[in-house]
Structure 1
Amino acid sequence: MKNVDQRVWYVIGLSVAVVIIILFLEWRTNYKLREKIKQQWGKAPVWSRFDHEDSLKDAWKIAQTYQKFESEIDDITWYDLDMTEVFEAVNGTYSSIGSEALYQRLRNFDFNDQSVEKLEELIAFYEEQPEKRAAIQFRFGQLGKKDKNFVKHYLSEAAGKELPHFYLYVFFGILPLIGAGILAFGQVFGLYLLVGSICLNTFYYLSKKERLETELNSMRYFVQGLGTAKAISKIETPVQQQLKSNLTPLKSILTFAVSFRVKSNSEAEMLFDYINIMFMLPFISYHFALRRLAKHNKEAIILWDLLGELEAAYAVLNFRLYMPKTAVPKFQTGGVSAENSYHPLLSASAVVNPVAWENNTLVTGSNASGKSTYVKSVAINCILAQTIHTAAADHFLMQRGHVLTSMAVEDDLFEGDSYFVAEIKSIKRVLDQVATGEHCYCFIDEILKGTNTIERIAASASIIDWLKDYPSIAFVATHDIELTEILKYSCTNLHFEEQIEADGISFDYQVRSGAAKTRNALELLQVMSYPKVIVDSAKEEAAFFDKHRLWNILNTPTV
């Protein structure tokens, strides 16, 4: 009997030691997180091993099944403009709820003030209440990030995903409790039942976990997100009442799905996992949480969106703080007007330029003079202005509209498309959107460069001229100076130029009115040490064409 009592005290002592270790590890993790929040505020986001785009894109696609917007940044435009890198520059979030919401915000928007007004309300709150902002960041940081968390999948459709054999899991889960109860009365059989059931549960759990791991991890992140919502709902914010009202019907999940409550980025998670396994808690909790989620799906969607808005807002504020200059855009009918606009990915070394874009515009200039970067900077700022209500400029004014590009075209081996076919498909989707009659901003770089000169110029001029009959405007970067003459009565001309110096070519990257008057391709050949005979011959041929508008025939045989 004495030996049994000793074993009981040993179990109690071990349990107390485990609790103390868990509490210490949790305290240390929280301390490090608070210090990180202080140090990172107002700085560019650091690289994270999470937030892979395939995960963010999956969540965005699933959300589209239950959320609709008036405009979308399609894949071609997204990758033409390197918007993944732009997202990373803004993404100062601490949880996947925030990063997924920010990614969605950058890819979808409506043509009204409702979304941006809510964003600005939260940003103003964070500016006025830095302590509360840090407290909210801390709660999201405790939640952490998890790629492929599939929460949006459950929000879109929770019904019918319950695990089979639910009552078998319940039976196995209570066996250790029965064993512990018998042991407490001094019966050795209780010890055998306790140890045996724990071994059985461990074996059964591990055999099932691999097949159900995705479901369990997804539900774990959802339940932990509810815990984050509960903590943040105690902080006075502009959305406090909305958080509370939508959390109320879901609160019971936090009680009955306790096995999912330990945060996935906590050092204590491994220790708590053993307890989960002993009592089959993940399977039991999953079943209950899923049934509750299916019943209150609407509230869960609203709650998740509110959390995303809260976190995306402080990420946008942080972006505004660390960028050299930003503007809160204004919206009115017309085109785009900006002062000291620049490319946000080149913030440290960017050259600022004005934007006065009211009608179709051709941008010409030498190679590497900055015309493509300028066009991209305008396109990116048109997106940022309408999504995160922020532009990389001193002043930014525009009419709301769709943003579409055709720039970094590549041939498609899988579709069997040549470069030119891929290019005309890309431009055709732009024209299809313009044909709807909605206001569009179209950006095309090196239009139709995949075909011969005569047909390229003829088709390009016809496409750009066609656009003038619709309430859309285009920015077209091109090397074809002929277009500036053909379209001089319907297009504005801008250009960039180079400065030829003794040791090479330099650029000031300043946009200028009018069409380009200079070329630098042959000078670049010389700078790159091409044979002098090649460079001289090329210059002679170009000069002959400029004078006669005909090409000189080389190596003409003498009669």
Structure 2
Amino acid sequence: MPSKTLPEQEIQQRVKTGFFNFSQIEKYFVHDERKGVFQAISDRTFQDLDLEDVFKFIDRTVSCVGQQYLYYFMRTIPQDDTRKQRLENIITLFQKNPDLKTALTPEISKLNKKDAYYITSLFHGKYTERPSWYWLIKILSVISVLSVMLSFFFPQILIFLIILLPVNLGIHYWNKNNLYQYGSSIPQLLVLTQTAQKILKNSGFSAQNIGLQQRVDALDQLGLPMSIFKIEAKLQGEIGQFVDYVVELFKALFLIEPVLLFTILKILDSKRQHIEDIFQFVAETDIALSIIALRESVPHTCEPIIGLKRKFLHIKQVYHPLIFNGVCNDITLDEKSVLLTGSNMSGKTTFIRTVGINALLGQTINTCFAKEFAMSAMKIHSSIRISDDLLGDKSYYFEEVLTLKNLLEESQCGHSNLFLLDELFKGTNSVERIAIGKSVLSYLTRGNDLAIASTHDRELSDYLADTFDLYHFTEVIDEETIMFDYKLKPGKLRTTNAIRILELNDYPKEVVAEAVKLVDGMKSG
């Protein structure tokens, strides 16, 4: 995609604002069985790469189902290209027919109510079981119907109905709690099937989804009986309330709600896959619209090339999606990993996150914030944001030890990995930190894995020169200011400016002087 310059205000206007309810958004991902998934991104990597904020930026969906499925997309790398090809086919369809995009967007947006988040419970959740005495409900329902019919010929039966009504009312209101559990999901399922019907009217969609129309029709036939779940819709005004009471009495007398509820639940339980297929179809359509909007709203993106060869990463003009007017960088790794050096705030950690985010999005939504992006198919693991676990009584160092142990085990699992590592073992002394860091990095990258690691220990680069390419970030200090260009530069960092930064920030002169003296002594020693 050609690069373009967009004003910050225009970009911000296209980003969603307001509250993101991640406890609902993540429901599909949390309960999915991970079929056909190469990797599910761990919570640690999700936090290390700030993927919650990245999701907020890339999410341009117009429905809750699309939002849930986009979150699932972003946290799962598929085993093959099927999902990617299907998504790109939909994107191409919209790009060739802008009027179709205009027509379908408002239809899909009908699923933007928060109740639509609960549709996933209809194929992931456990259904309410019929009570063991359900046979009694059916018998009482039949008796009530027969009694009303016979009362036209034998009016005295009305006395029996007056006795039967309190029993049926008790069952009717006992069932309200069961009905309430589906008061959000099933009405939205009706909207979902209606939306799918409208999308499938286009030949481009129906041709790509053979057999889906039959599944939609099967659920659409349940539309009328499922309308009982619209229990929240109330008639307005006094006359409306009176009619509502009469309808409620009618439903209670014939036990319409419990009979229909358990009948419909039995049918829906047998059609879980139907519901999930329709959910995915509508959600993917929304995701395609979202990705089109995303690609149009940023300076430049590209579709990555995945799987050329093992242990390979080529990036040109990559940038962090959350940094407006951020600096772009290039890097190519072929058989070798990369070790970054540089002072704090120079851009090391941001660059590591930038590569990780783009490697993930390239393999999930087929979109990279770069001019060129090619890589091996790799799982993504990180150790960036480590902290003490006070409740678990674990120090920073011990927490990092456990994290890296998991990565060492992952490196022996037979698949390619991309390890993102920021300042290894900074919770221990410098001699042991360098020794352990060298041994861990060598172990992690001896197979088909790549690592992008940062360090303040320039000595570490000497030990890893054979297996790691060396890059650095640096700052420029003039008489009174510190300037960062955030440009990745080849080779090892040769200068240090930490003490000079103290001086520029008005540290006491004796503190600065003593620090300089100690450094000179260490160098001469």
Q: Is TM > 0.5 for Structure 1 vs Structure 2? A: yes
Paired amino acid for 1:436 = C
Segments of structure 1 that go 5 or more residues without pairing to the other structure are 1-39, 182-186, 549-559
Asked if the contact 2:172–2:257 (Cα under 8 Å) also holds between the matched residues in 1, the reply is no
Query: Does 2:277 match 1:302?
Result: yes
Cα deviation, residue 499, structure 1 = 0.5
Alpha-carbon distance in structure 1 between the residues aligned to 2:261 and 2:182: 8
Cα deviation, residue 345, structure 1 = 1.2
Cα deviation, residue 403, structure 1 = 0.7
Task: State the Cα deviation string for residues 434-486 of structure 1 (Å, max 9, x = none).
Answer: 11121100000111111111111110000111233211010001111111112
Query: Does 2:74 match 1:89?
Result: no
Paired amino acid for 2:202 = I
Deviation larger for 129-138 or 239-248: 239-248
Cα deviation, residue 166, structure 1 = 6.3
Alpha-carbon distance in structure 2 between the residues aligned to 1:52 and 1:407: 25
2:152 aligned residue:
none
Cα deviation, residue 329, structure 1 = 0.8
SS at match of 1:139: helix
Alpha-carbon distance in structure 1 between the residues aligned to 2:177 and 2:375: 52
Report 1:272-283 matches (<5 A): 279=251
Alpha-carbon distance in structure 2 between the residues aligned to 1:499 and 1:267: 68
Cα deviation, residue 169, structure 1 = 7.8
Alpha-carbon distance in structure 1 between the residues aligned to 2:350 and 2:230: 47
Cα deviation, residue 545, structure 1 = 1.6
Task: State the Cα deviation string for residues 341-396 of structure 1 (Å, max 9, x = none).
Answer: 001111x2211000212222100101100111011100110000000000000111
Alpha-carbon distance in structure 1 between the residues aligned to 2:445 and 2:263: 59
Cα deviation, residue 328, structure 1 = 0.8
Asked if the contact 2:115–2:188 (Cα under 8 Å) also holds between the matched residues in 1, the reply is no
SS at match of 1:71: strand
1:352 aligned residue:
328
1:235 aligned residue:
202
1:47 aligned residue:
17
Picking from 228, 250, 253, the partner of 2:219 is: 250
Using CA pairs below 8 Å that are at least 6 residues apart, which structure has the higher relative contact order? 2
Asked if the contact 1:227–1:254 (Cα under 8 Å) also holds between the matched residues in 2, the reply is no
Deviation larger for 275-284 or 525-534: 275-284
SS at match of 1:397: strand
Q: 1:163 to 1:60 in 2, by over 3 A?
A: farther
Paired amino acid for 2:280 = D
Deviation larger for 365-374 or 308-317: 308-317
1:506 aligned residue:
483
Asked if the contact 2:420–2:451 (Cα under 8 Å) also holds between the matched residues in 1, the reply is yes
Asked if the contact 1:498–1:505 (Cα under 8 Å) also holds between the matched residues in 2, the reply is yes
Asked if the contact 1:410–1:422 (Cα under 8 Å) also holds between the matched residues in 2, the reply is yes
SS at match of 2:451: strand
Asked if the contact 2:36–2:78 (Cα under 8 Å) also holds between the matched residues in 1, the reply is no
Task: State the Cα deviation string for residues 515-558 of structure 1 (Å, max 9, x = none).
Answer: 1122232233223322221122112212322232xxxxxxxxxx
Segments of structure 2 that go 5 or more residues without pairing to the other structure are 1-9, 150-154
Alpha-carbon distance in structure 2 between the residues aligned to 1:92 and 1:217: 24
Query: Does 2:497 match 1:520?
Result: yes
Alpha-carbon distance in structure 2 between the residues aligned to 1:55 and 1:75: 16
Query: Does 2:300 match 1:325?
Result: yes
Query: Does 2:198 match 1:223?
Result: no
Report 1:416-495 matches (<5 A): 416-495=393-472
1:23 aligned residue:
none
Aligned residues: 498
Asked if the contact 2:122–2:275 (Cα under 8 Å) also holds between the matched residues in 1, the reply is no
Cα deviation, residue 327, structure 1 = 0.5
Alpha-carbon distance in structure 1 between the residues aligned to 2:70 and 2:349: 27
Picking from 68, 76, 83, the partner of 1:100 is: 68
1:397 aligned residue:
374
Asked if the contact 1:94–1:140 (Cα under 8 Å) also holds between the matched residues in 2, the reply is yes
SS at match of 2:415: coil
Cα-Cα RMSD: 3.8
Query: Does 2:96 match 1:128?
Result: yes
Picking from 12, 17, 27, the partner of 1:58 is: 27
Alpha-carbon distance in structure 2 between the residues aligned to 1:365 and 1:462: 21
Picking from 264, 267, 273, the partner of 1:289 is: 264
Q: 1:163 to 1:393 in 2, by over 3 A?
A: farther
